[in-house]
């Protein structure tokens, strides 16, 4: 509790960690709940058990078994593999970048339409008096290095007919969220009057293009800068799988750095880009947090704890899920991290977790 405000922290539970390792930390000490800060905070641990992505009871039971690191039986594997599915223009979830890059490149080159390349506009707003140790990020190379693993790509190549996945929550009431899938169907000429704008209470309307939350002025400024700097003077139009057509404008993604209390106290790393990614295939890592109505999963080359669970649980139901590759991987690679399982077992006895970890 901070000044009457409740804060929720996520220990990242049973999804898998970023493959990149972090300096002197031991491999077994990579989880948030292992830090001294976590212990000092005297947190109350709450198990969030309401599932929002899936509603099929049978599918949920299978996923929860996988989440707990319990091996599938042959009946469950058969159910996952052998069922009616509708996966036209589905996104493939693969385990390695090599697989994903090769598949996306091959599908992209099959199209003969004009290619539009968008280059991200990156920047760093440095509060040097508060965070002198962040000086290395203030130059172009430092900013680029800090954004190297950003989930939004520095270059985005788009063309009509391309399968894409949305990377922002555009309009939740219309079902357009992070992970929404669609096809690029055309282009809209750039018009500054149509760009997203910072919402200012009392001075403008809270319309569908309004930017809300923190750093609205910065985001509006960077979006306009992107619009001015881009060589492509058209924005992509996408028809999503739910039938809606939308023009996709640039978005500004902000990461706060350093210490502070109010938003203006922090140094800010930011990237502005068209929030679309090639949707023929993506890595398990990049799919985390996404909800995919149509997905084809191949976990034959799974190499991290939790990859099978993350891949399968992107699907909303069995009808929108197809499993390719070696189905035996489902029998062999359903594993969870031992440290995570120990933590969950200690904090939530009611979960009845397996004891082999």
Phi, psi (degrees; rounded to nearest 5) at 81? -90, -35
For 25: left if phi > 0, alpha if psi spans -120 to 50, otherwise beta; the answer is beta
**Residue 1's pLDDT band (boundaries 50, 70, 90)?**
very low
Residues 122, 135: Cα–Cα separation, whole Å: 16
Residues 272 and 182 in one domain: yes
Residue 154: inside a domain: yes
Share of the chain above pLDDT 90, in %: 52
- Rounded CA separation 165/53 (Å): 17
Its pTM stands at 0.78
Q: Does pLDDT of 357 surpass 50?
A: no
- Assigned token pair, 169: 């929550």
119 and 141 together in one domain: yes
Please check whether residues 137 and 216 belong to one and the same domain.
Answer: yes
Asked whether residue 220 is domain-assigned, the answer is yes
Asked whether residue 215 falls in the same domain as residue 339, the answer is: no
Residues 237 and 350 in one domain: no
For the cut 50, the answer to whether the pLDDT of residue 182 exceeds it is yes
Look up residue 31 and give its two tokens.
């989880």
pLDDT digits (tens, 9 = 90+) for 110-148: 999 999 999 999 999 999 999 999 999 988 888 889 999
- 212 and 118 assigned to the same domain: yes
Longest dimension (CA), the chain: 62
DSSP helix, strand, coil percent of the chain (3-state; round to 5)? 30, 20, 50
Cα–Cα dist 106/100, whole Å: 10
Q: Quote the CA–CA distance of 17 and 13 in Å, as a whole number.
A: 10
Terminal Cα distance for the chain, rounded:
33
Question: Is there a domain that residue 352 lies in?
Answer: yes
Question: Does 301 share its domain with 175?
Answer: no
Domain count, the chain: 2
Is residue 224 classed exposed, middle or buried when 0-12, 13-18 and 19+ CB atoms within 10 A define those classes? middle
Average pLDDT, the chain: 87
Looking at residue 10, what is its pLDDT? 59
Q: Is residue 67 part of a domain?
A: yes
**Do 196 and 147 sit in the same domain of this protein?**
yes
Instruction: Decide if pLDDT at 232 tops 60.
Output: yes
The pLDDT score that the predictor gives to residue 354 is: 59
User: What totals of helices (H) and strands (E) does the chain contain, helices first?
Assistant: 10, 16
Q: For position 355, what pLDDT does the model report? A: 59
Give the pLDDT mean for 37-61.
Answer: 87
Highest mean pLDDT among 70-79, 174-183, 201-210: 174-183
301 and 203 in a common domain:
no
pLDDT bucket at 346, cuts 50 / 70 / 90: confident
User: Structural domain of residue 313, as residue ranges?
Assistant: 62-88+294-357
* Boundary (domain end) residue, out of 250, 281, 312: 281
Whose tokens are 């707003």? That residue is 125
Mean pLDDT throughout 335-346? 80
pLDDT greater than 50 at residue 4: no
Alpha helix stretches (DSSP H) within the chain = 36-40, 57-67, 74-81, 97-110, 140-146, 216-229, 284-287, 307-312, 329-332, 338-347
Residues 189 and 324 in one domain: no
| Matching residue, tokens 């899920």 | 321
Residue where a domain terminates, one of 281, 307, 342: 281
Same domain, 120 and 166: yes
């Amino acid at each position: 509790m901070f000044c009457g405000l409740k804060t929720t922290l996520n220990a990242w539970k049973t999804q898998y960690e970023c493959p990149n390792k972090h300096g002197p930390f031991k491999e077994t000490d990579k989880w948030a709940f292992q830090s001294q800060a976590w212990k000092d905070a005297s947190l109350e641990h709450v198990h969030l058990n309401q599932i929002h992505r899936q509603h099929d009871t049978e599918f949920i039971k299978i996923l929860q078994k996988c989440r707990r690191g319990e091996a599938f039986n042959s009946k469950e594997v058969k159910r996952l593999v052998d069922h009616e599915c509708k996966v036209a223009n589905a996104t493939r979830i693969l385990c390695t970048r090599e697989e994903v890059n090769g598949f996306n490149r091959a599908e992209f080159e099959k199209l003969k339409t004009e290619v539009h390349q968008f280059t991200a506009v990156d920047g760093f707003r440095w509060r040097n008096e508060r965070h002198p140790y962040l000086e290395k990020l203030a130059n172009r190379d430092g900013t680029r290095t800090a954004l190297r693993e950003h989930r939004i790509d520095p270059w985005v190549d788009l063309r009509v007919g391309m399968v894409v996945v949305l990377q922002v929550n555009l309009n939740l009431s219309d079902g357009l969220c992070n992970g929404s899938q669609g096809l690029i169907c055309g282009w809209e000429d750039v018009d500054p009057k149509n760009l997203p704008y910072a919402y200012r209470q009392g001075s403008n309307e809270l319309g569908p293009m309004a930017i809300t939350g923190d750093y609205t002025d910065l985001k509006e400024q960077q979006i306009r800068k992107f619009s001015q700097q881009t060589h492509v003077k058209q924005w992509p139009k996408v028809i999503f799988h739910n039938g809606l057509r939308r023009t996709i404008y640039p978005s500004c993604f902000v990461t706060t750095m350093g210490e502070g209390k109010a938003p203006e106290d922090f140094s800010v790393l930011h990237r502005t880009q068209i929030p679309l990614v090639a949707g023929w295939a993506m890595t398990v890592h990049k799919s985390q947090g996404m909800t995919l109505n149509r997905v084809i999963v191949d976990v034959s080359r799974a190499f991290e704890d939790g990859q099978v669970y993350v891949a399968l649980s992107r699907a909303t139901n069995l009808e929108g899920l197809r499993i390719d590759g070696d189905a035996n991987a489902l029998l062999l690679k359903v594993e969870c991290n031992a440290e995570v399982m120990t933590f969950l077992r200690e904090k939530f006895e009611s979960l009845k977790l397996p004891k082999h970890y």
